[in-house]
């Protein structure tokens, strides 16, 4: 299979990312693609500490993309303990994206062992041996239903779809309900997003939330969990955001609607919502 070339965009930490012409967005933060993978997903979830305590770790990487979040996880885990039992499931819509990342040299700055692992996963979609992984290709809404049905439980979930306005189908209450079912009771979910609609959806599906402070970013990420663990509290600004119509969540009752249908449903719900208009919040804080 020929692997098409994707438009490459440099990021501030010297790493590169792709631009998605389908979604009209970069795959990673322009402030640093590798840095985002390491800080927002690996460090914020205390991935290594969890793995060392348990002697094993199960990861669900939602929207695997170029593989950077998985790469950062393997880099960190293998740097401290080569014998930790790792189980990973990645969900990815387009199987050509991880292959293109390899073909266009975007993984070249990760350790050789990590590059080798990701290449095998990208091309065979399955790894068995020192670590176990499956890359499930297709609509994440379908794939996560299958995982929830078989009671898959992740210690850590990397939640990294394109932004809610561009890909609302992966930020709905219904999809996040299934994702939350795949989260171990003591597990944590990390995402770059702090959108009020996303946080309201997390709250609706029974997850507690805290901020992920990020150096050099205007907005923090979000850590979500059911566990009784300490979380960085939401600021007053963030709390007030959840009291506005921006916090009306996305909904997809059948888990089959188009992005346009999901957006239209939310717009209608916002129009009749008793929540405060978002404009006053913007004037106060932005």
CATH of the domain at 87: 3.40.50.150
Nearest to 39 by CA among 8, 11, 68: 68
**CA terminus-to-terminus distance, the chain:** 48
Is residue 20 assigned to a domain?
no
What is the crossing angle of helices 173-181 and 196-204, to 10°?
A: 50
pLDDT (average), residues 105-112: 96
pLDDT (average), residues 69-97: 95
pLDDT of residue 193: 95
Instruction: Please state, rounded to an integer, the average pLDDT across all residues of the chain.
Output: 95
% of the chain with per-residue pLDDT over 70? 98
What is the domain extent for residue 186?
31-285
Is residue 2 assigned to a domain?
no
pLDDT of residue 20: 92
Is residue 15 assigned to a domain?
no
- Predicted TM-score (pTM) of the model is 0.96
| DSSP labels, 164-202 | TTT-GGGSBHHHHHHHHHTEEEEEEEEES---HHHHHHH
> 58, 85 in Cβ contact below 8 A?
no
Asked if pLDDT for residue 135 goes beyond 60, the answer is: yes
Tell me 38's DSSP state: I
Domain count, the chain: 1
Kindly give the pairing relationship between strand 221-225 and strand 208-212.
antiparallel
Asked if pLDDT for residue 218 goes beyond 80, the answer is: no
pLDDT (average), residues 72-88: 93
Is residue 1 assigned to a domain?
no
Is residue 21 assigned to a domain?
no
> 218: Cβ–Cβ under 8 A, 6 or more apart, which residues?
none
Is residue 266 assigned to a domain?
yes
> 141, 177 in Cβ contact below 8 A?
no
pLDDT of residue 4: 83
Asked if pLDDT for residue 216 goes beyond 60, the answer is: no
pLDDT of residue 217: 58
Nearest to 77 by CA among 180, 182, 183, 156: 156
Asked if pLDDT for residue 191 goes beyond 60, the answer is: yes
The least confident of 121-135, 205-219, 246-260 is: 205-219
Is residue 147 assigned to a domain?
yes
Per-residue pLDDT of 137-182, as tens digits, reads: 999 999 999 999 999 999 999 999 999 999 999 999 999 999 999 9
Is residue 116 assigned to a domain?
yes
Q: How confident is the model at residue 3 (pLDDT cuts 50, 70, 90)?
A: confident
Asked if pLDDT for residue 286 goes beyond 90, the answer is: no
């Amino acid at each position: 299979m020929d692997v098409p070339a994707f438009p490459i965009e440099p990021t501030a930490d010297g790493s590169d990312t792709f631009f998605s012409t389908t979604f009209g967005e970069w795959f990673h933060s322009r402030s640093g693609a590798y840095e985002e993978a390491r800080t927002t997903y690996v460090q914020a979830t205390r991935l290594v500490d969890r793995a060392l305590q348990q002697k094993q770790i199960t990861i669900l990487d939602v929207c695997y993309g170029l593989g950077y979040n998985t790469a950062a996880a393997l880099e960190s885990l293998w740097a401290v303990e080569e014998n930790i039992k790792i189980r990973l499931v990645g969900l990815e819509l387009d199987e050509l994206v991880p292959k293109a990342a390899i073909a266009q040299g975007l993984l070249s700055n990760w350790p050789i062992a990590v590059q080798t692992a990701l290449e095998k996963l990208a091309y065979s979609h399955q790894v068995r041996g020192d670590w176990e992984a499956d890359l499930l290709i297709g609509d994440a809404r379908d794939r996560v239903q299958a995982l929830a049905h078989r009671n898959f439980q992740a210690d850590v979930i990397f939640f990294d779809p394109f932004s809610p306005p561009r890909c609302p189908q992966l930020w709905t209450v219904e999809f996040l309900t299934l994702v939350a079912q795949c989260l171990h009771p003591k597990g944590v979910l990390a995402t770059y997003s702090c959108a009020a609609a996303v946080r309201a959806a997390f709250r609706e599906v029974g997850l507690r939330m805290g901020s992920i402070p990020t150096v050099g970013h205007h907005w923090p990420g979000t850590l979500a969990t059911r566990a009784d663990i300490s979380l960085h509290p939401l600021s007053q600004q963030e709390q007030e955001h959840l009291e506005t119509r921006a916090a009306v969540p996305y909904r997809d009752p059948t888990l089959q609607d188009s992005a346009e249908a999901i957006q239209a449903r939310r717009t209608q719900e916002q129009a009749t919502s008793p929540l405060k208009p978002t404009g006053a919040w913007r004037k106060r804080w932005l």
